[in-house]
Amino acid sequence: MTSKFSIDINCDLGESIEPDQWEKDALLMTYISSCNIACGGHAGNTQSIETSINNALKHKLKIGAHPSFPDKKNFGRKEMDISEKDLRGALRSQLNTFHSICKKQQAKIHHIKPHGALYNLAAKDIKLAVLISEEVSKVFKDIALMGLAHSLMTDAANQVGIPFINEGFMDRYYHASGQLVSRKHPLAVHTELKRCLEQATRLATRKTIQTLEGEYLELKVDSICLHGDHENALPVARQLHQAFDKKDIQIQ
């Protein structure tokens, strides 16, 4: 008997050049179904990419690239004053590097997910979203763009003619508009595990979630992000897996 509900759980990985962090990433891979691997823009290097891809293959995950503004100093979390030409060049360089390593390891690329400030800006800036979609389509053929559900990234992907994966967040507050609440806001991130698990379950079972304004928002998502860059990531991943098992939600 198949589960009534199924959902992809993705995680941003390979965001360190330290081997001990790669080992922690590998432990998380047991509980997810896809990963987004940093490709040198905000973090990572050739070795971290190679190791992350190898571990993802062992765990049979869907593999994605995680490009960013070329800004390791700020971990790609700040807007950059960068020309369109330079941004296109930076994205193409990251994607080409990732593509080359995947080809070498005979790994199939499933999707591309922008990181940090690039992701957040593209969700509300159609010109930037189109630029990213165009660079994805130039390097890869028929590869999906992953981005904020029901945002301008969806429109951009449709305009360029590439598939789109609607992403939701289990640990973030949303506005009634569907935009994420800025991390500058004190309530931007859900800190209680119970709240995170509840929101993940509601997203996976197509139920509404409560917004910052107190309204209820319906988000149809294809994938839920599990943030792997904090110390409690592994126990959160385990408990998410357990919560989904109880609700007969399949992670795939």
pLDDT digits (tens, 9 = 90+) for 189-214: 998 999 999 999 999 999 999 999 99
Q: What is the dihedral of CA 211, 212, 215, 217, to 10 degrees?
A: -20
Q: Running DSSP on this structure, what letter comes out for residue 76?
A: T
0.85 surpassed by pTM: yes
The residues, any chain, with a CB within 8 Å of residue 139's CB and separated by 6 or more, are 92, 95, 96, 99
42-60 confidence digits (pLDDT tens): 999 999 999 999 999 999 9
State yes or no: pLDDT of 1 exceeds 60: no
Count of positions (residues) in the chain: 252
> What is the fold, at CATH topology level, of the domain defined by 5-251?
TIM Barrel (3.20.20)
- Residue 230: band (very low, low, confident or very high) from pLDDT cuts 50, 70, 90: confident
Give the pLDDT score at 2: 64
* Cα dihedral sign, 114-119-123-127: negative
Report the alpha-carbon distance of residue 249 to residue 113 in Å, rounded: 24
Q: For the chain, what are the domain ranges?
A: 5-251
Mean pLDDT of 27-47: 97
Number of helical H runs and strand E runs in the chain = 8, 10
